[in-house]
């Protein structure tokens, strides 16, 4: 009876197989987490691109329709010489508006590289595993 009591009191070191299974469980858990992160990044990117495309399409259609309506109104409402000057000014104004909106769209679409967070997390995982095993990653 004292032997079984002593065996219960003394913690045994985990066997090699148990440590291997534990490490494998950790690796699988880390892999699952990274795949979930990857899926979230893809969803976020698709959502952002969809919003940008819808916004760009709405802007293009609205500007085109308003410019067409304005040009028709100018052609009908003003005498020929005054209408030509107004049309010239509007042409320059539309060109400037197009350039400015193009620059704004460029600035809005700048995002961090796709999967950069996942790649950074994988680097951290590799460093953590290397510190556990004591292996040099550059060997």
Q: What angle do CA 129, 138, 33 make, to 5 degrees?
A: 30
CB 34 within 8 A of CB 121: yes
Question: What's the mean pLDDT in 80-90?
Answer: 83
pTM over 0.75: no
In Å, how far are 9, 11, 64, 126 from 3, measured between CA atoms? 10, 14, 90, 43
Confidence of residue 131 (pLDDT cuts 50, 70, 90): confident
What proportion of the chain, given as a percentage, has pLDDT over 70? 82
What are the tens digits of pLDDT across the range 15-43? 887 888 788 788 878 888 888 888 888 88
HSE, CB side, 13 Å, CA atoms: give it for residue 138. 0
């Amino acid at each position: 009876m004292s032997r079984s009591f002593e065996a219960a009191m003394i913690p045994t070191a985990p066997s090699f197989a148990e440590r291997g299974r534990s490490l494998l469980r950790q690796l699988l858990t880390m892999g699952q987490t990274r795949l979930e992160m990857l899926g979230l990044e893809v969803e976020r990117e698709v959502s952002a691109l969809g919003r940008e495309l819808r916004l760009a399409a709405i802007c293009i259609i609205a500007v085109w329709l308003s410019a067409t309506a304005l040009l028709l109104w100018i052609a009908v409402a003003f005498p020929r010489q005054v209408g030509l000057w107004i049309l010239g000014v509007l042409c320059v104004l539309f060109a400037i508006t197009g350039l400015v909106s193009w620059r704004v769209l460029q600035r809005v679409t700048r995002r961090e590289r796709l999967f950069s967070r996942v790649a950074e997390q994988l680097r951290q995982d590799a460093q953590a595993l290397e510190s556990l095993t004591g292996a040099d990653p550059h060997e």
